[in-house]
Amino acid sequence: MNSVNKFEISESASSLLCTIPQAVKLGKTYREKISSKKAAMQKYKEDKRREKKGHKSMKSNKRTVEVKDVTDAEPFHPAIRDNRSIKEFQYLNKIDEGTYGIVFRARDKVTGDTVALKRLKALNQNEGFSIAARRELTTLLKIQHPNIVAGREIVVGSGSNEVFVAMEYVPHQLKNFMDTMRMNHLMFSPAHVKCLMTQLLNAVLHLHDKGILHRDLKTNNLLLSQDGILKVADLGSAREYESIPQQYTPGKVTRWYRAPELLLLSREYSTPVDMWSVGCIFAELIMLQPLFPGTTEIDQLDKIFKELGTPSETIWPGYNALPIVKHVIFDSYAPGGLRKKINRRQLTDCGFSFLQGLLIYNPVKRLTAASAIEHAYFKEEPVAIKPDRFLISM
């Protein structure tokens, strides 16, 4: 990471920051961590800078600062004018790189906290940031929930298009945790699965209540803290949605977790696409392997149809009108394959009913996050273990 001056920001980065709503501000609880010594030093530096520019006058032993027109101030939106520099963070290591940015682990030099710094990817030198980057930046700072990775603040760099989001650092990726378990021939108990699913559903419910689709829920995007708290991460594909299904980009959601309406290229979709992903995650927690690991979109559909049966206009009104259905003739499969894949020793009948509710073809009939949380499966013994007992009891 480059060392930069706090007040040097590229035009592209500045334009991105100005798109963030004024209501999105850094929380006081985090700002209070910034020491008084830091604040005093910052004030001193600002005074010296103004003195050099001639914006200062002295009266007797008292010092007063003449404030010029607001146009002479730093070129930041009022809500984000006190963004800190990347220079105030110490690079530790690279965590991950996705479509919408690179994530680093870093240490906040002021507070000593370990944070995750996501550098947002720009389209190119001249075009600035994508709509997806702007959406993610706004969503990260707007959504605050115990089961969603929180965005703390915007951090700026000096180079062209250098904008970072500082987020809480969560050490474990659930997918890696599951891979280790499988290698050691271990499985989650029903109480552990319910603990994770309850937290996941709470996060998804919060997003949907706030009018946001995640659109990339998968085990790779679920993190686990040392206290057993599950955190939904990577809002790079997230976007706001209308209560009535609208036309959006169909190619969202990682293939293995993609709802059939998206695979069949429907452009009108809503929250049910996230709930299908939740169903795939639920099955993966039970089996410790992906439910539908398709190699292509058509292969993905074939794997789904083999387990759930080939859909029809009768069980899914509007199915015949979907773009892919008009051009592809699918093999005819009878339903019932899923119960053979996940037997009663792995999942009770009540739990299987819950899984079926998440994997209903007709999006209108698919379980919502609110109805899923209230399902009888979570009241059936054994109930969910407490998060703080999750790792201890493994």
Question: Region 114-140: what's the mean pLDDT?
Answer: 73
Token pair for 300: 């993905």
For the chain, the maximum distance between any two Cα atoms, rounded to a whole number of angstroms, is 92
Q: Which CATH number is correct for 11-46+75-168, 3.40.50.300, 3.30.200.20, 3.90.1150.10, 3.30.70.100?
A: 3.30.200.20
Which residue ranges make up each domain of the chain? 11-46+75-168, 172-389
In the predicted structure, residue 21 carries a pLDDT above the cut 50:
no
User: Could you confirm whether 216 is annotated as catalytic?
Assistant: yes
CATH 1.10.510.10 fits domain 172-389: yes
In the predicted structure, residue 330 carries a pLDDT above the cut 50:
yes
Please state which of the ranges 79-83, 222-226, 267-271 shows the lowest mean pLDDT. 79-83
Q: Using one digit for the tens of pLDDT, what is the confidence trace for 168-194?
A: 999 999 999 999 999 999 999 999 999
Question: Region 264-284: what's the mean pLDDT?
Answer: 96
In the predicted structure, residue 269 carries a pLDDT above the cut 70:
yes
Question: Region 287-298: what's the mean pLDDT?
Answer: 97
pLDDT band at 160; cut points 50, 70, 90: low
Question: Region 382-390: what's the mean pLDDT?
Answer: 95
Best-predicted range by mean pLDDT (147-156, 161-170, 328-337)? 328-337
Q: Which of 216, 274, 349, 388 is catalytic?
A: 216
Same fold across 11-46+75-168 and 172-389: no
The CA-atom distances, in angstroms, between 286 and each of 73, 151, 300 are 57, 31, 20
pTM greater than 0.95: no
pLDDT band at 248; cut points 50, 70, 90: confident
On average, the pLDDT of the chain sits at: 81
Token pair for 49: 């800078």
pLDDT at 46: 66
In the predicted structure, residue 96 carries a pLDDT above the cut 90:
no
Closest CA to 1 of 115, 124, 88, 122: 88
Q: What percent of the chain has pLDDT over 90?
A: 59
pLDDT at 4: 36
Q: Tell me how far apart the alpha carbons of residues 341 and 293 are, in angstroms, rounded to a whole number.
A: 14
Q: Which residue has the higher pLDDT, 30 or 344?
A: 344
pLDDT at 69: 31
pLDDT band at 37; cut points 50, 70, 90: very low
pLDDT band at 150; cut points 50, 70, 90: confident
- Contact, 193 vs 285, CB < 8 A? yes
Q: Tell me how far apart the alpha carbons of residues 138 and 129 are, in angstroms, rounded to a whole number.
A: 13
